[in-house]
Structure 1
């Protein structure tokens, strides 16, 4: 079987995109298209989805290590941002490559989620280390900020993942088979642009942007604090939404 060229792979990927429902504007218009390019390049190079997942982990891990180990500065900030954003785009690319190669697997999905969980946990731990080692903080209370942000981020990630899995479980048939066959499926609602905008504060790609402020302690603290506050508010809203949806589905 002949391997597609980069251009042909990119064209196929454009036709096989997941729904944009529940996705922020950044992921829809920046991260997914960039991931699509990486997926096509990976396909042309003969890489497998798990290879791309590990590449994502390597780029993200490099950025996180730099936050913890290197004194903040403007050049360092740009390097960290580039590493984190590239890692995020590769995180999108592995799933797109799996669909293109028709190689989706439970093991690949597991590896992808493990890397995502490590990323969400480690990046805030690295900020905590950077605060302690390099920042001239007015109070030790600032050290609690990355811990709170980390807690909110992990709960949003794990809570959303678990809610999706539980909602996807097949329900018992509550109506006769004939009625079920006659029932027409409801048309899918178009993605909400307002929701896509509202989700920007908790989009990982937007979170990466705050690291461009690492050259200024005051600017980074302000940006990181604002996103931490947004994560706390969204956590409360998401938890109420997921609990309500799962209660209705049970």
Structure 2
């Protein structure tokens, strides 16, 4: 496997389960979409972060689906985001996923529709949203939880509409190391490039599964960021998020096309 992808997909990374346990002073799990069941790839609930309740939505990479949420998982996210807005709670998302779960049953249960509904809601939600990109951010499955006011990524992270292997196969018919490396460059998906395009706001060092000092640093950073955001008016929160998205789209288009 490509060296960069090996680092991105390293299973010894700080996980969503660890985030729920270590970032919050206390955490209550909330799960299920109230319709079809519980998605084991989603770690979700309410935690106290610096004495402030925060809704947490995290994708657990090590679960049976490899960190891919089913429609049930995305419906749970939508339910909890609407709940957060109702009670004026900020939202923290944790993304490390190859993409949404893809099989016939997922399509039958409306995978594409619920992802689009979640993206739409994340765009207009009246409370602050911070996203943590902690490894791989694959396609709409990642985007659904990354429409945020502020995005923090680790230095070995990526965010792309398609995996480098998929991109290489479609355009070159091959998945060799050389073609995959070329695909990574052409996708402009590395965290340092994402920061240049204003998609990512801040890059932090990778966090391993046993690095409490880095976790504490991240916790303090989140407390500080949410404190500033929560003092703003609702209209400011929404307008800043929309402006961030628009600015990133324009800049990405200008830098990656010859038009």
User: TM-score band, normalised by the shorter chain?
Assistant: 0.3 to 0.5
Higher strand share: 2
TM-score, structure 1 as length reference: 0.38
- In our comparison, the structure showing a higher alpha carbon Rg is 1
TM-score, structure 2 as length reference: 0.37
Higher helix share: 1
**Structure with greater contact order relative to length (CA < 8 Å, sep ≥ 6):** 1
